[in-house]
Structure 1
C-alpha cells in the first residue's frame, strides 16, 4: 500500500521543487555573473586597445563566458565567440601573428588562399548578425548581472 500524500504534503513538495529549481536558476546566473565580474577588467582593456587582435587576447575569457551563459543568450554568445575563433584559426593556419598582421602589407609568404581566409573571417566579425549578437550579449549582461560586460 502506497502512503498517501495529503494536500499539505503536495504543497510542501511543490514548494520544495520550486525552491530547488529557482535555486538552480539563481546559481546558473550567479556563476555567469561571477565570470562577467572576473573578466570585466580584461575585457575593458581589450576593447580600449581596439582591434580584433586585442579581442583574440581575451578569447579564452570570452569562451568561458559563452560556456557559462544562460540558454536564452547562448546563440548570441556562440555567434560572437565563433567568429573570433574562426579568425584565430585563419591566422594560425597562415602562421600569422595577429598583433603584427597588416592587411595592406601582409607577410610575403602569405598566399592568396590564406589571405582570403583571414579577410573572410575578419569580415564576419563586422557583419550585422555578429554586431547584433554582441549588442544582445551586452544588453543581457547588463540586465541579468546589473553590470556592463566592459566599461
Structure 2
C-alpha cells in the first residue's frame, strides 16, 4: 500500500519535470525562424547544408509524431554534405556540369545520387509535412 501511495505521488512530480515536448519544439521553431529564413532565402546551393545545425536542434526537440519526417530531411542533407566532403568539394561552388579537377566519376555519381534523394518526392513531402505541422501545431511557419 505504501509503495502505491509513493508511486501515486511521484507520477505527477516526474511528469512535471520536463516541459511539454510540443511546447519545447514550438519554442525551438520560433527561436530558429529568423535565422532559418535568412539562410534559406539566400538561395545559395549550400543553404540546406548551412541550416543543418538548426535542423538538428529541431529534430532533437521534435515530438514523436514527426521524427520520421525530420530523419528523412536531415538524413538526406547529411548524405549530400558527406558526398561533397568525401570529394573534397565546396558545396557553395560545386557545379555538376563542370566538376572540379580531381573529382572522380564515382564521387560525382555519389553526389548526384545524394542530390537526387534530397530532391525526391519522399523528402519534399517530409519537408512539406514539417512545415504544415509547424503552422498547425505551433501556429507559426518554419520560415518567415
Superposition TM-score, scaled by structure 2 size: 0.87
1:138 matched to 2:138? The reply is no
CA distance in 1, matches of 2:128, 2:110: 25
Structure 1: runs of 5 or more not aligned: none
The residue aligned with 2:39 is 46
CA distance in 1, matches of 2:117, 2:44: 14
Give the 4+ runs in structure 1 shifted more than 4 A: 16-21, 23-26
Measured after TM superposition, the shift of residue 50 of structure 1 is 2.0
Measured after TM superposition, the shift of residue 46 of structure 1 is 2.1
The equivalent position to 2:109 in structure 1, one of 92, 116, 126, is 116
The equivalent position to 1:92 in structure 2, one of 68, 73, 85, is 85
Structure 2: runs of 5 or more not aligned: none
1:66 matched to 2:71? The reply is no
After superposition, the CA RMSD in angstroms is 2.3
Render the CA deviation track for 1:91-114: whole Å, top value 9, x for unaligned. 000000000111111101100000
Render the CA deviation track for 1:21-60: whole Å, top value 9, x for unaligned. 5x57852122211211121112112221225411101101
The equivalent position to 1:36 in structure 2, one of 7, 14, 29, is 29
CA distance in 2, matches of 1:24, 1:72: 21
CA distance in 1, matches of 2:17, 2:68: 21
How many aligned residue pairs are there?
141
Superposition TM-score, scaled by structure 1 size: 0.83
